[in-house]
Amino acid sequence: MKKIGVVGTHGRIDGCSFLDTDELLRKVGANTGNLLFQYAVCNMLDEDYVVVGEDLPWDVKTVQDQCRVLVIPSANFVRENFDFSGFVDFLDKTELPLVFLGLGAQAKNYEQTEFNFHESIERLLDLIKRKSEKVALRGAFTDKVLRDRGVDSGIITGCPTNFINRDPDFIHKLKTKWSQDAFSFVATGDEPWPKDLTKRDAERKMIEWVAKGNGLYLQQSVEPFIKYARQRNLYQTAIVPEHHENSLKNALAPYMSDEEFRGFVSTKMRLYYNVDQWMEDSARVDFSIGLRLHGNMAAWQSGTPAIWVYHDSRTRELAETMALPNLSHTDFLGFNSLGELKNAVKFNADRYEEVREELRTNLSMVMEAHGIKHKLKS
């Protein structure tokens, strides 16, 4: 009996402490948020599966022999300036049915209508038309972008990470913790050197709150920053240029001395390569804020309330689709403390529960359209 093939990881990188940073980032697809996504997908399957890239090599014949369908935890694949040729070639050559989950289109904002996609993205959309019965999409914006290009098999599901926690009392626990004081918190960061200086200012504000309060700072994907943070790890072979420290400090915390910044990174910054540990640490704090969908979602699914700060269509679409508490990064700049922010942004638990059940039903439809047994029960 052939199995389900899942592309990615089981939600962890074994032996991560002994890997060079380049190899570590390659294994997580340059963003540890992918681990949470892949963890969610693996844990919703209710039949035998193998992970392509871990249990199986990236070999077309091996995958064909052992898998009857490929499940693809999908990020913002539909975006400009992105060459996806190698991956699209691999998927095409397998000739297997393809199940894309959480597929998203990325844009500056919802108003963008013209896109300069690499030809590999056009080929990806053609593959979806030919090989996918139903495709699970992030939200209405992605659905419109795909429909404009002839893909009409989309079903809006949000992100599969929304269903990691299967506790029937989950939402009540979230609501209870939201009503309590936020003594400790985690902040999820993004890009230290954005073109939009208001986004940089939002990052600076979060770091200032972390430095002055009972906070932790989470970094998921910025390679120079992660190399800088891991430079004392003897298994990182890459040399960290001296100018990285000043560049990072000046971008994120210009008021700190060099020593203060080193201390911040050493004691306040977290990198996670195992979802269970990520969620356990998140469960221990009172609140989460940040610019990354999955950084906040790790906390949310562990029962810790969160507020999503969006800066483009990507995070905004997901937060709005799933009825998660959110605000723009420019609005975030108007707040002076976590307590003030938390009091201003409301969590409508009833609305979240209603929407979550709708999205759960939609995701079940996608899985069942491909004959996949799942655990997406209410």
pLDDT in tens, 61-73: 999 999 999 999 9
- At residue 41, φ and ψ (nearest 5 deg) are -65, -45
Residue 13 lies in a domain: yes
Q: Which residue has the tokens 């679409």?
A: 317
Asked if 225 and 261 sit in the same domain, the reply is: yes
Residue 78 lies in a domain: yes
* C-alpha to C-alpha distance for 155 and 366, rounded to whole angstroms: 7
Asked if 199 and 303 sit in the same domain, the reply is: yes
* Buried-exposed string 131-148: b where 16+ CB fall within 10 A, e elsewhere: bbebbbbbbebbbebbee
Residue 207 — very low, low, confident or very high, per pLDDT cuts 50/70/90?
Answer: very high
Asked if 209 and 310 sit in the same domain, the reply is: yes
Asked if 259 and 185 sit in the same domain, the reply is: yes
Domain ranges, residue 210:
170-347
Residue 377 lies in a domain: no
pLDDT in tens, 162-192: 999 999 999 999 999 999 999 999 999 999 9
Asked if 157 and 183 sit in the same domain, the reply is: no
Asked if 128 and 267 sit in the same domain, the reply is: no
Asked if 277 and 229 sit in the same domain, the reply is: yes
Residue 110 lies in a domain: yes
Please return the burial class of 169, using the count of CB atoms within 10 Å of its CB with bins 0-12, 13-18 and 19+.
exposed
Would you say residue 312 has pLDDT above 90?
A: no
Asked if 328 and 277 sit in the same domain, the reply is: yes
Asked if 238 and 365 sit in the same domain, the reply is: no
Asked if 155 and 179 sit in the same domain, the reply is: no
CB atoms within 10 A of CB 49: 19
Q: What is the pLDDT of residue 377?
A: 81
Would you say residue 378 has pLDDT above 70?
A: no
Q: What is the pLDDT of residue 154?
A: 98
Q: What is the pLDDT of residue 314?
A: 86
Asked if 135 and 104 sit in the same domain, the reply is: yes
In the chain, how many domains are there? 2
Residue 364 lies in a domain: yes
Q: Are 108 and 313 in contact (CB under 8 A)?
A: yes
pLDDT in tens, 331-349: 999 999 999 999 999 999 9
pLDDT in tens, 112-164: 989 999 999 999 999 999 999 999 999 999 999 999 999 999 999 999 999 99
Q: Average pLDDT over the chain, rounded to whole?
A: 96
- 320: domain CATH number is 3.40.50
Residue 374 lies in a domain: no
| Torsion sign (Cα): 172, 174, 176, 179 | negative
Residue 58 lies in a domain: yes
Asked if 159 and 190 sit in the same domain, the reply is: no
